[in-house]
Homo-oligomer: A and B are copies of this chain.
Amino acid sequence: MHFLKEFDQKNSMEIGRELHGFAAELYPICRSITGDGIRRTLGMIQDRIPLQISEVPTGTSVFDWTVPKEWNIRDAYIKDRDGNKVVDFRDCNLHVLNYSIPVHATMPLNELKVHLFTLPEHPDWIPYRTSYYKPEWGFCLSHNQLTALKDDDYEVCIDASLEDGYLTYGECYLPGHSTDEVLISCHACHPSLANDNLSGVTVATALAELLGGQDRRYSYHFLFIPGTIGAITWLAGNRETALRIRHGLVLAGIGDAGGFHYKKSRRGDAEIDRAMAHVLRHCGDSSEILEFAPYGYDERQYCSPGFNLPVGCLMRSVWGTFPEYHTSADNLDFIQPAQLAESLRVCAAVVDVLENNQRYRNLNPHCEPQLGKRNLYRSTGGEAIGAEINARLWVLNLSDEDHSLLDIAERSGMSFSAISAAAELLRESGLLSAMPAGADSADAPHAASQTDQLRTS
């Protein structure tokens, strides 16, 4: 497929505005790792792409974990003695410690305070905090709100339920010529947080939309899941499918103004790692490649030693390194249309590499073929050759069955698109033949050894 070429013919500002518009629709919903918030979110994604929604019952064992009770919230507030709501869930859903147990009580400020979370260094911002596995209740508020509270009694109310129910996630599967899969995973469990949640959700949705209309080499598997427990639940129920994942990306925090950061898979030299490094090197923007570390997003689970899947993580600013992270300042202004569109383009470029990366055989391996008689060379000797001819020479020289187009792009320093275009032209001219499918499966032996690991464990 010529996915990137097609993508680049589209209006990128329009794409960006569309992405941001979808984020704005999703923003007000109070999501959590279970409950109606994520259910509604998945429904809105389903309006755009074919999405299969799964409901996994509370109590289901998933490896070392158990699917928790389902949490739903209707209202929450703190009222002062005069009945004024000094903290109101309806103003901002971050105000409630996510997964709070229900509470309705009146108590003095000093007793209330152990349940309050603020950010003294950013007195206007509300922090985002959770307590999924320890039964707790609490409120998050701006430090200014806290300091305004008089030493008095307060009525606190969290009208929430924590009951047997389901963990909900969504999958979009786009079959390709091969059953080998590309995984695109993003978490969809954060309430009103734009970059750390909705940037990944909206870009992944748009990527699935774009890929829907393509002839695909690989099958694509998009996951919209609650973080950690969602990835664990999916992996526990889909171990056979996981073995088919040949390349994977976690998308998170790709709407802000920071430069790109790609965190490599645990393997460190997987094709996705090399493809992403190549795309970012040539994308024109500042970018940085990070080594794998076991803390982060859901690559934590995909790259656990029993799976060791070739899954990396694309971010712009890295979680925890920017002040807006996990606060009310990670809002719709913090993500911008142009940034979302550019992130989608990087994803499209990586897909383009994965789809078109293969090995060719030079059918005239002894000496150079005479490009001139095929009008593939300049005719007046003595002057320099251009980049297009140079790309052809690189492809011919390294198409010895051992080098993929990505290998050739890396060694030549040229962009994958230039190398890929040269290979296509040479193939059309009868100078190259494509190696049979499978011969280019750089990661196949890893996949096999995973099978063994899973079988014996």
Contact = CB atoms under 8 A, between A and B. Distances in A.
A365 B131 contact: no
Contacts of A128: 382
Given A65-B370, A382-B127, A365 B306 contact: yes
B133 A379 contact: yes
Interface in A92-107: 97-98
Given A365-B306, A365-B457, A397 B294 contact: yes
A133 B372 contact: yes
Interface in A366-393: 366-370, 372-373, 379-385, 390, 393
Q: Which bracket fits the contact residues of A? A: 35 or more
A304 B370 CA distance: 13
A304 B397 contact: yes
Nearest to A307: B366
Given A301-B368, A368-B301, A382-B326, A133 B457 contact: no
Contact of A400 (B127, B130, B300, B305): B305
Interface stretch (A44-52, A228-236, A269-277): A228-236
Contact of A134 (B236, B365, B372): B372
A412 interface: yes
A363 B367 CA distance: 46
Given A294-B397, A384-B320, A304 B367 contact: yes
Contacts of A382: 98, 127-130, 326
Interface string A88-127: 0000000001100000000000000000010000000001
A330 to B, nearest CB: 12
Nearest to A397: B294
A215 B305 CA distance: 32
Contact of A381 (B131, B235, B320, B379): B131
A130 B384 contact: no
A200 B239 CA distance: 57
A132 interface: yes
Copies held by the complex: 3
Nearest to A97: B380
Nearest to A457: B365
A22 interface: no
Interface in A282-306: 291, 293-295, 300-301, 303-306
A304 B368 contact: yes
A366 B306 contact: yes
Nearest to A411: B291
Contact of A305 (B293, B304, B362): B362
A322 interface: no
A381 B132 contact: yes
Contacts of A380: 97, 117, 129-131, 134, 136
Contact of A64 (B294, B367, B411): B367
B64 A364 contact: yes
Nearest to A130: B381
Contact of A367 (B117, B232, B368): B232
Contacts of A457: 365-366
Nearest to A235: B367
A316 interface: no
Contact of A301 (B320, B367, B383): B367
B453 A365 contact: yes
Given A294-B397, A295-B393, 4 more contacts: A64-B368, A131-B381, A294-B394, A294-B396
Interchain residue pairs A-B with the least CB separation, the first 8: A306-B365, A130-B381, A306-B366, A294-B397, A305-B400, A294-B393, A64-B369, A129-B382
